[in-house]
């Protein structure tokens, strides 16, 4: 029952990747436009700040997603779930070494869902 370096490093990097993917869903700063005020557009919400207003008065609302953004959101959520499963399998591989091979496969699929799609 010993933890090797690659399991620790992989787990830490996957948890970091998962937290960044989760934060990317909620942030409205995917596309930013500074013409006649500031408009920030994200996957799930849009924020508008008109010229001369205090930044605390920024108005945000839920966004009606186009179909291709909805597909992107679905792939990101699938990737987040797969990364979570990979971390669990890596932790399980401390006691059961055969789960490490499955963790590698699922981690590879998770990276494809989040970073390519």
The per-residue b/e assignment along 67-83, b for 16 or more CB within 10 angstroms, e otherwise, is: eebeeeeebbeebbebb
- If you search the block for the tokens 């990097």, which residue do you land on? 13
What are the pLDDT digits (tens) for 19-58? 888 887 777 777 777 777 788 877 778 888 887 777 788 8
User: Residue 117 pLDDT more than 70?
Assistant: no
Total residues found in the chain within this entry:
117
Tokens of 64: 């009606």
Q: What is the pTM of this model?
A: 0.71
Please give the tally of structural domains in the chain. 1
Contact 29, 42 (CB under 8 A): yes
The Cα 14–Cα 28 span in angstroms is 23
Range of the domain at 93: 5-115
What are the pLDDT digits (tens) for 77-94? 888 898 899 889 888 888
């Amino acid at each position: 029952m010993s933890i090797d370096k690659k399991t620790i490093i992989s787990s830490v990097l996957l948890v970091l990747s998962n937290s960044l993917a989760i934060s990317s869903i909620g942030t409205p700063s995917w596309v930013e436009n500074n013409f006649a005020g500031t408009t920030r557009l994200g996957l799930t919400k849009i924020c508008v700040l008109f010229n001369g207003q205090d930044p605390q008065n920024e108005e945000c609302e839920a966004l009606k997603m186009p179909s291709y953004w909805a597909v992107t959101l679905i792939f990101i959520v699938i990737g987040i779930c797969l990364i979570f499963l990979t971390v669990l399998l890596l932790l399980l591989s401390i006691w059961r070494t055969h789960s490490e091979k499955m963790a590698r496969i699922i981690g590879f699929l998770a990276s494809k869902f989040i970073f390519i799609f």
